[in-house]
Structure 1
């Protein structure tokens, strides 16, 4: 009888907990639509959640300069990554404002600043540098078990920076930048004469499904950042390692089974980008791609059916994403806003220096 009563109480307690205390979601954390790292006026660093109008929902401390973040697909948890070459990656409960776990890069590895969850939120994938062997790896972490490391597999190249989950929920697309670095050499680029970037499509266990590279004349273009539309079209942003007087394309797109399609602007506009596309976004219908250059203070907005992109000037602009309301941007001067072919629409200015990326939830 005592055992039966104990079991019944346990059953009822579990039912009550499930009814009264449902698992928190992003709505419980203030319903942010994006995440971004920033530097505050004291010199400290934070991770912020924002709504589409630029309103801050939360800001949480980071131990150093952040780069990008990975948002859990359902729970209000974010993984904040250090800027390359970074050793920290923190799992933060954005509802409670506390650190849940820390990802420790194994010996001989450092993070590249990006990661992505599986659709079910059970696994986290991170881009990493196996620097003693000069190759890139994808780290695999168990999000259901305090982010225990499950293993790693080859990224398909050198210097993997960004990675995204494809719409099929089973494939990772990785931007292998091609540049070899080593912590002992800081951010020095060790293999420019032989560098070769690529886009690799990989299974969750590292099977190479497809790989594409740039034309030989663009061998010094490093593919760095990605954005993926529901159609599976992947937009890519690049950083040129050659002569900055040469007007080279810094954006493009790819669909599986095809070659990379490059997006070009007028020579003067390309030169103003100073060889550096900082971030990229693609519209939900795949018809527009936007890329930013903080060095050039410029946004290039490419539209299907237009011969040339719309050029928008915005000092120190870098973060960009496409959300329900359209394209959004952030700047190192603290500005948050929207843009379209009709121009910029600043929304708010915060006493912050926004870092490189605006991560859509």
Structure 2
């Protein structure tokens, strides 16, 4: 009987505790950083209809974010090279923790949670030389820094959690000046896609062919049979190079050029990439004002045009949600763009799906 009273008291206490899950902030499916009309910056949650479910302030321009798998917590990262990663309670905008990399390190704009939410992984560089590191943070210990892994490349940018618990790392290959981001090694850069096991071991490291060594691997999307990646060309802009790459499981990297008339449409710059559960790929270019839709094998399906479009994430099995710098939110598939909503905001480069998909 005493045990039952204790149990019931526990239930009553739980009933009055604040809800910490995503339901507490309107069950958003995506998050994105934005600049507000007054010039201030914020991180916003978006629902399936493109409505803003929460908006929390940021101290400066944000880049991407990592969303906790079940708690209404976001880590918002500064534009690279950055020194802040803010762990934010999305219910009230409170900063739970301000993350700073160790001395001589810089955040590189992206991070990811382990599937159980116990670890946070952060993309980092050693400021001098741009050697890549993956920071490890213990969420249950108040985001205590507990170690790091080698990213096995120079200038890592986006990292993605793989289904086996390991990480895919886009090592961009560019050594930059730690103060002004000036590239220092364009004539000798070697970007790679690294797969790191759940214990930090190197599983594989694959590079593009020599003629595409100046194609910096920047952003990633998980495909049914591999990984898609978006690149930014650092060489002669007169050369038409593929900006979408495919890394099939166990096979070499390969570029996927669009049809000849579209070769220069992205202006040598891909800003984001997303993939649906069915394997459709969207790759965006804010410079070119285009979105290209491809099949999972890299075959080009369509080119859609919208000024300053960049943020991309999967919306359902066959379609995408996209954001642009004019405040619009779009639904897209191979057949075209459809306006979902618009806000008095300038959306930043990335749209992050809660749960890590897309």
Q: TM-score range by the shorter chain?
A: over 0.9
User: What's the CA shift for 1:305?
Assistant: 7.8
Structure 2, unaligned stretches of length 5 or more? none
Distance 1:182 1:307, change over 3 A: closer
CA–CA separation in structure 1 for the residues paired with 2:70 and 2:300: 39
Are 2:111 and 2:158, in contact at CA under 8 Å, matched by a contact in 1? yes
From 298, 302, 312, give the equivalent of 2:304: 312
CA–CA separation in structure 2 for the residues paired with 1:72 and 1:232: 25
From 126, 129, 136, give the equivalent of 2:125: 129
User: What's the CA shift for 1:341?
Assistant: 1.8
Match in the other structure for 2:193: 199
Distance 1:44 1:145, change over 3 A: same
User: What's the CA shift for 1:14?
Assistant: 3.5
Are 1:176 and 1:198, in contact at CA under 8 Å, matched by a contact in 2? yes
Q: Secondary structure at the match of 1:205?
A: coil
TM-score by length of 2: 0.94
Count of residues in correspondence between the two structures? 353
Match in the other structure for 1:92: 88
Are 2:108 and 2:157, in contact at CA under 8 Å, matched by a contact in 1? yes
Moved more, 100-109 or 8-17: 8-17
From 216, 228, 237, give the equivalent of 1:222: 216
Match in the other structure for 1:282: 275
User: What's the CA shift for 1:27?
Assistant: 1.6
User: What's the CA shift for 1:52?
Assistant: 2.0
- Aligned: 1:174 with 2:169: yes
Q: Secondary structure at the match of 1:16?
A: helix
CA–CA separation in structure 2 for the residues paired with 1:24 and 1:232: 35
The two structures, once aligned, show a CA RMSD in angstroms of 2.0
Are 1:88 and 1:104, in contact at CA under 8 Å, matched by a contact in 2? yes
User: What's the CA shift for 1:84?
Assistant: 0.4
1:37-89 per-position Cα deviation (integer Å, ceiling 9, x unaligned):
00011111000000122111111100000000000001110000001011110
Distance 1:179 1:204, change over 3 A: same
Are 1:141 and 1:147, in contact at CA under 8 Å, matched by a contact in 2? yes
From 210, 228, 245, give the equivalent of 2:204: 210
Structure 1, unaligned stretches of length 5 or more? 1-5
User: What's the CA shift for 1:232?
Assistant: 5.0
Are 1:153 and 1:205, in contact at CA under 8 Å, matched by a contact in 2? no
Match in the other structure for 2:322: 329
Match in the other structure for 2:290: 298
From 349, 352, 355, give the equivalent of 2:342: 349
Match in the other structure for 1:187: 181
User: What's the CA shift for 1:271?
Assistant: 1.0
1:324-358 per-position Cα deviation (integer Å, ceiling 9, x unaligned):
27211000111101011221101111111100000
CA–CA separation in structure 2 for the residues paired with 1:98 and 1:83: 21
CA–CA separation in structure 2 for the residues paired with 1:308 and 1:80: 33
